[in-house]
């Protein structure tokens, strides 16, 4: 059974159809990539999957070891006529309308990073990772103010998890620096560590190699493999660096003009004439012009 199922996803911004009936699946434990020319709708798919956009149509389902989450429903949908005759559906929808939102998607186990890094720049590196563990901590105010043993244990554990991830992304020495002070490449790695601190089952990386030099890109591809192999997390990434995509991904989905034009393993994609046409343009098209 696949981990993420996107079914006939459509997204409309006013008159523009940004996504048109997009369907794809992500297998658990895989590294999948979403590629396509600029403006193809990759980031829109990401924003729908991670709950930042409400899809106009379609279904997104997450199945993490038998735990099923409807990623569209948890955002809070519009009321339908039928709801007014069905108290349970009404209550459900009201609940998600009032208390739903993209944080529910994250709680279900989808973590993400951003194309333009979004760290808490004026907080320290460790604090960034502690915020990410918010939902796993002892948040009782009274425990915190009185500094009870239970609270201290929970904080200590969070610090250990944070340090564990900092070691993995090789940022241990920077633990007590401000996140905004770090060099660009370190900020990228910190953002990945931060999203891993939410203990996700699926991590969505939005152009993780953007702005990195070749050596850093090499380290990144090793890091992504480590995440999958040792930490059992499924990776879905958007990337323009074809070398990186072809090297690490097992499944590639190609988008163009909001539609899936091809899907498969790197070998098939590389040879697919439609993909080549989308990226390079075809001779016929040039001939017409």
Partner 1 sequence: MLGTAHDNPKVAALKEALLSAAITFLVMAPISGIVLKGYAFEADFTVPVYAALIVFVLRLAILLLEQNETGRKILVRLSPSKGGGVTVAKPGGVPWLRFILPLLFIAGLVLPFFLGKYWLTVVILAMIYVLLGLGLNIVVGLAGLLDLGFVAFYAVGAYMFALGSQYWGLGFWTALPLAAATAALFGGMLGFPVLRMHGDYLAIVTLGFGEIIRLVLNNWTSFTGGPNGVSAPNPTLFNLEFSRSAKIEGNIPFHEFFGIPYDSSLKYLFIYMVLFLVVCAMIYFVNRLRLMPMGRAWEALREDEIACRSMGINHVTVKLSAFMMGAMTGGIGGVFFAAYQGFVNPSSFTFFESALILAIVVLGGMGSVVGVIIAALVLTILPEALRDFADYRVLIFGILMVVMMIWKPRGLIRIHRPYFRVKGGKA
Residues found near partner 1 in the complex (CB under 8 A) = 50-52, 99, 101-104, 106-107, 111-112, 114, 118-124, 126-128, 130-132, 134-135, 137-139, 141, 144-145, 147, 159, 163, 166-167, 172-173, 175-178, 180, 194-195, 198
Give the nearer residue to partner 1 in terms of CB position, either 152 or 274.
Answer: 152
Nearest-approach distance from CB 10 to partner 1, in angstroms: 23
Give the nearer residue to partner 1 in terms of CB position, either 75 or 275.
Answer: 75
Give the nearer residue to partner 1 in terms of CB position, either 42 or 251.
Answer: 42
Give the nearer residue to partner 1 in terms of CB position, either 38 or 176.
Answer: 176
Nearest-approach distance from CB 272 to partner 1, in angstroms: 32
Task: Report the relative pairing of strands 110-112 and 234-238 from DSSP bridges.
Answer: unpaired
111, HSE (Cβ side, Cα atoms, 13 Å)? 19
204 Cβ partners below 8 Å, 6+ apart? 46, 49, 50, 110, 111, 112, 113, 236, 237, 238
Q: Which residues of 8-36 are buried (b: 16+ CB within 10 A; e: fewer)?
A: ebbbeeeeebbbbebebbbebebbbbbbb
Nearest-approach distance from CB 19 to partner 1, in angstroms: 20
Nearest-approach distance from CB 124 to partner 1, in angstroms: 5
Give the nearer residue to partner 1 in terms of CB position, either 132 or 269.
Answer: 132
Nearest-approach distance from CB 125 to partner 1, in angstroms: 9
Give the nearer residue to partner 1 in terms of CB position, either 182 or 269.
Answer: 182
Q: How many residues does the chain have?
A: 289
Cα of first residue to Cα of last residue in the chain, in angstroms, is 46
- Angle made by CA atoms 131, 236, 161, in degrees to the nearest 5: 30
Nearest-approach distance from CB 238 to partner 1, in angstroms: 15
CB atoms within 10 A of CB 178: 16
Please answer whether residues 168 and 180 qualify as being in contact, where contact means their C-beta atoms are separated by less than 8 angstroms.
no
């Amino acid at each position: 059974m696949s981990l993420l199922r996107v079914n006939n996803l459509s997204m409309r911004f006013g008159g523009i159809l940004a996504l048109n009936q997009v369907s794809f699946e992500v297998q658990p434990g895989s590294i999948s990539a979403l590629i396509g020319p600029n403006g193809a709708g990759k980031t829109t798919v990401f924003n729908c999957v991670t709950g930042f956009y409400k899809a106009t149509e379609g279904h997104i389902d997450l199945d993490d070891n038998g735990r099923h989450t409807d990623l569209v429903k948890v955002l809070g949908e519009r009321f339908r006529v039928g709801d007014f005759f069905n108290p349970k559906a009404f209550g459900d929808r009201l609940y998600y309308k009032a208390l739903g939102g993209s944080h529910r998607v994250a709680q279900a186990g989808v973590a993400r990073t951003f194309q333009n890094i979004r760290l808490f720049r004026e907080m320290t590196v460790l604090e960034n990772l502690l915020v990410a563990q918010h939902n796993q901590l002892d948040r009782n105010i009274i425990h915190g103010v009185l500094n009870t043993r239970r609270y201290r244990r929970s904080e200590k554990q969070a610090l250990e998890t944070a340090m564990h991830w900092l070691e993995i992304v090789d940022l241990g020495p920077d633990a007590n620096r401000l996140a905004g002070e770090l060099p660009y490449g370190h900020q990228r790695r910190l953002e990945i560590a931060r999203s891993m601190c939410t203990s996700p089952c699926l991590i969505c990386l939005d152009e993780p190699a953007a702005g990195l030099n070749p050596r850093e890109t090499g380290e990144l591809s090793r890091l992504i493999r480590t995440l999958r192999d040792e930490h059992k997390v499924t990776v879905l990434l958007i990337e323009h660096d074809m070398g990186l995509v072809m090297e690490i991904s097992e499944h590639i989905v190609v988008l163009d003009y909001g539609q899936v034009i091809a899907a498969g393993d790197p070998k098939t994609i590389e040879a697919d004439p439609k993909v080549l046409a989308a990226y390079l343009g075809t001779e016929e098209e040039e001939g017409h012009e």
